[in-house]
Amino acid sequence: MVALKYRTDDNAQWGAGLGRDLQPQEIDQNFYDVEKRLEVVEQNPVLPNEIDSISVDGNRMTITMADHTVFGPYILPQAAFRFTGAFQPNHDYRLYDFLVANDGLYLVLHDFTSGDTFVFGADAQGPFYQFILPFPSNYDIAFFFPGPPGLGLVDGAAMFAFRASARTPFYLPAGLPDSSAGLAVAPAAALTCDIYQDATHIGTLDFAAGSTAGTFTFDQAVQFNAGNTLRVMRPAALDDTAFDLSILFAAVKGPL
């Protein structure tokens, strides 16, 4: 390829020109030379310097390019997770705080100040929390009374009693849907056992004559906190045919 021909002088760029109009052959030669140079570029494109590998050692990241150029190491940002325990009212929570609420573990998604109660809500910045991990909420309470139910107990005495602790508050849901009661031998007549929270009547356990499966009358959910006692009372009328009473209360951990 020959050098391109120019009419004028420009020492800062192409140098000395011919000082005259270019001849048709000279113009064509310029176009031809530019075309050949473009063909060389098209046939031999410049390859980009791509990333060959990325390595991470601890919190340091290094990038190596295809031409062996190395960038880094760069310090990687690290999230500052903090466990804050049970939900705290009117507390200044920070991004990446963990807290325990009613039914599990939550992650705080942005800085905010909590209200009086735990609310799985949002503000202008978006949701307050991400639900991370559910905690088991089932809390089964089982009783057994051998022989005829209430035999040997005075009227008004409890056959069973269970005292709630400060560590594990629980509640019995309305209707006691997952609870069950049974007898090894059915009563000859209808049998009823009252259920109490402390001194408050909260429901009954009933067996129809000839039935070994008990049914519950339990109109509303009842919360048991530290010191509250769940009691199943002796039947007002004993039945010496009924035998071996067993009860399972399917409670739920936590507050209502």
Domain ranges of the chain: 1-46, 49-77, 82-134, 138-253
- pLDDT, tens digit, 9 for 90 and up, residues 93-106: 999 999 998 778 99
pLDDT in tens, 4-55: 899 999 999 989 999 999 999 998 899 999 998 888 888 888 777 888 899 9
Residues 155, 238 contacting (CB under 8 angstroms): no
User: What band does 147 get if pLDDT is binned at 50, 70 and 90?
Assistant: very high
Contacts of 22 (CB under 8 A, 6+ apart): 5, 7, 30
Count of Cβ atoms closer than 10 Å to residue 198 Cβ: 11
Q: In terms of C-beta density within 10 A (0-12 exposed, 13-18 middle, 19 or more buried), how is residue 152 classed?
A: exposed
Q: Which residue has the higher pLDDT, 135 or 225?
A: 225
Q: What six digits make up the tokens of 94?
A: 């920070």
User: Which numeric CATH code is attached to 138-253?
Assistant: 2.60.120
pTM: 0.54
CA dist 119 and 106 (Å) reads 12
What's the pLDDT score for residue 200? 97
- Predicted local confidence at residue 120, as pLDDT: 84
Radius of gyration of the chain (CA): 42
> Helical H runs in the chain?
24-43
Length of the chain: 256
Q: Which two tokens stand for residue 115?
A: 């209200």
> Taking the mean position of all CA atoms in its chain, how far away is CA 222?
28
**Interatomic CA distance for residues 194 and 115, integer angstroms:** 40
What pLDDT does residue 242 have? Answer: 97
More reliable by pLDDT, 133 or 201: 201
How far apart are alpha carbons 216 and 124 in whole angstroms?
47
pLDDT at 101 (0 to 100): 87
If one compares 66 and 223, the residue with the highest pLDDT of the two is: 223
- Average pLDDT estimate for 120-146: 90
Q: What percent of the chain has pLDDT over 70?
A: 100
- Rounded CA separation 6/17 (Å): 5
What average pLDDT does the chain have? Answer: 92
Both ends of the chain: CA-CA distance in Å?
A: 89
pLDDT bin (cut points 50, 70, 90) of residue 1 is: low
Question: Which residues on neighbouring strands pair with residue 56, listed in sequence order?
Answer: 61
pLDDT in tens, 214-231: 999 999 999 999 999 999
